[in-house]
Amino acid sequence: MPLDIFSHTFPNGLTLVAERLPHVRSAAFTLTLPAGSAQDPEPRLGIANLLSELVVRGAGPLSSEALATALDNLGLDRSESVGLYNARFRGVGLGTNLLPALEIYADVVRRPHLPDDELDPVRALALQDLRGLEDDPPSRLMVELYRHAYPAPLGNDHRGTEETLSAITIDDVRAHHAATYRPKGAILAVAGDVQWDALLDGVGHLFGDWQGAADTSLCFGPTPGRRAHLTRDVEETQIALSCPAVPFTDPDYYAAQGAVGVLSGGMSSRLFTEIREKEGLCYSVSASYQTLKDRAVVLAYAGSVNDKAQRTLDLLLRELGKLREGVTQDEVDRVIVTLKTSQIFQQESTSARANSLASDWFYLGRVRPFEEIRAQIEALTPAKIVAYCERHPLRDFVVATLGPAPLDVPADA
């Protein structure tokens, strides 16, 4: 591994991975635990999310308010969130405050109070979040898209439903904590102004004697059909598409990113040029890539005034389908320089690096060295991207729309 990247997996299965970044005073951490929403029992959807909010409301010797005050006094900007596989606790502040912050988070994840009287407020916030989602059309649409793009539980939203949230008891939450907040497969990634020896020692003391493994097996349900429409009275029709792609672990991953880059990497890319610049149909139009452990998707999104939405969808499908016909060297050169630049920008941000370290370790069990990523980017060619599109065609889309009226979608799209 490169000189500035360190890792150690403790006997309990927790991995500490760290990167020293020069010329910075901050340090960021990303702590992931195998406690994601894919493990939510069907009648208790949303429980992982509730739990991630509850663990910070008092832990170890600190009450909820004392804990928040302590972290504020450390100047720590922080967040809790839940993805499909993991609960994630992130924080960033001055490097000198990292270990004191981690000491608090050790209590948060290992010894949370999970008090009775905090469940209703946290549940109320979760219910408010669901209501607020209805007021946010692009986000609402994406929830619908994922429900159709992946089978349950991968297609489930971490928020749960009003029904399932209302059914959750504090005993459910405590049991879920005991079952899922376990060190095996957990990752603590740190980047910035860090001293490895002190960090390893400190983390060993805080987490070394933690034991146990969560059940991370998944039982898949059916995938709904590939068409969805939500009727809403909005000014702008929302359109989202997805199609299968290769996951992060696949050697073709970079070619998939290359394809997305040609479509959407900058303002000279195909979607922006053809759909926004030339026809003025959209303000927002883009493509992106999203990966899970064993599968992934290419996504496309556009927001269009209602009477232009059909044309927008037609052009989106046209451009996605056209990619396999050819890609120019100039397009690939632009993608390469953009990806290389993004890589450097990521090195400038301690929190971006902490997230990347955690993500690499979660999917690959190692950290990809800077030079390895750079070499893969530089090796992209038009032929590789076209070959990727041959092997994994951009078709058989899930199409989800939100607007006053559904759109015509070709049966073979």
Partner 1 sequence: MPFHTHTLPNGLTLVGEESPAARSVALGFFTRTGARDERPEEAGVSHFLEHMVFKGTERRSALEVNLDFDRVGADYNAYTSEENTVFHAAVLPEYLPQVIDVLADILRPSLREEDFAPEKKVILTEIAKYEDQPGHVLYERCRALHFGPHKLGNSVLGTAASITALTRDQMAAYFDRRYVPSNIAVVVTGRFDWDRVVGLVSDRCGGWPAGDAPRDGVGETRGACEFAVVPTSKWQQEYQMSMLAAPPTESRLRYAADLLATVIGDDPGGRLYWELIDPGLAEGADMGYQECEGAGVYYVNVVGEPATAQRCLDTVRAVLAQVQAESITAEELEQARSKVLSRLVRSAERPKGRLSAVAYAWIYQKQLRGLDDELAAFRAVTLADVRTLLDRYPLTGATTVALGPLEKLDRT
Residues between 304 and 323 with contacts to partner 1, criterion CB under 8 A: 304-305, 308
Contact 246, 253 (CB under 8 A): yes
Report the DSSP pairing between strands 227-231 and 398-403: parallel
In the region spanning residues 329 to 348, those forming contacts with partner 1, defined by CB under 8 A, are 330, 333-334, 337-342, 344-345, 347-348
Among residues 25 and 205, whose Cβ is nearest to partner 1?
25
Cis omega before residue 153 (within 30°)? yes
Residue 278 beta carbon to partner 1: minimum distance, rounded to whole angstroms: 7
CB atoms within 10 A of CB 209: 12
Give the torsion sign (CA, 291, 128, 236, 276).
Answer: negative
In Å, what is the CA distance from 396 to each residue of 21, 227, 393? 43, 11, 8
Q: How many residues bind partner 1 (CB under 8 A)?
A: 72
- Chain positions 74 to 103 lying near partner 1, rule: CB under 8 A, are 74-77, 92-94
Question: How many residues does the structure list for the chain?
Answer: 413
What would you report as the CA-atom Rg of the chain, rounded to the nearest whole angstrom? Answer: 22
Is there binding between residue 73 and partner 1 (CB under 8 A)?
Answer: yes
Q: Please select the residue that binds partner 1; options are 2, 115, 212, 283, rule is CB under 8 A.
A: 283
Specify the amino acid at residue 305.
Answer: V
Smallest separation (angstroms) from partner 1 to the CB of 132: 5
- Tell me the per-residue interface mask from 2 to 31 with partner 1, x by CB under 8 A, - otherwise: --------------------xxxxx-----
Question: Residue 39 or residue 269: which is nearer to partner 1 going by CB?
Answer: 269
Query: DSSP alpha helices (H): ranges in 215-328?
Result: 253-264, 270-271, 309-322
Which residue of 87, 122, 142, 327 would you call a contact of partner 1, by CB under 8 A? 122
Q: How far is the CB of 73 from partner 1 (least distance, A)?
A: 6
Least separation in angstroms between CB 55 and partner 1:
14
> Closest by alpha carbon to 315, among 275, 372, 263?
275
Q: How far apart are CA 405 and CA 306, in angstroms?
A: 8
Q: How far apart are CA 170 and CA 352, in angstroms?
A: 34
CB-wise, 205 or 278, nearer to partner 1? 278
User: Binding string, 206-235, against partner 1, x = CB under 8 A?
Assistant: ---------------------------xxx
Minimum distance, C-beta of residue 266 to partner 1, in the bound complex (Å)? 4
Nearest Cα residue to 86 out of 52, 59, 113: 52
For residue 284, give every residue at least 6 positions away whose Cβ sits within 8 Å of its Cβ, in sequence order, or none: 301, 302, 303
- Indicate the residue among 2 and 132 with the shorter CB distance to partner 1: 132
Minimum Å gap between C-beta 271 and partner 1 is 12
Q: Which positions from 128 to 167 touch partner 1 by CB under 8 A, shown as an x/- string?
A: xx-xx-xxxx------------------------------
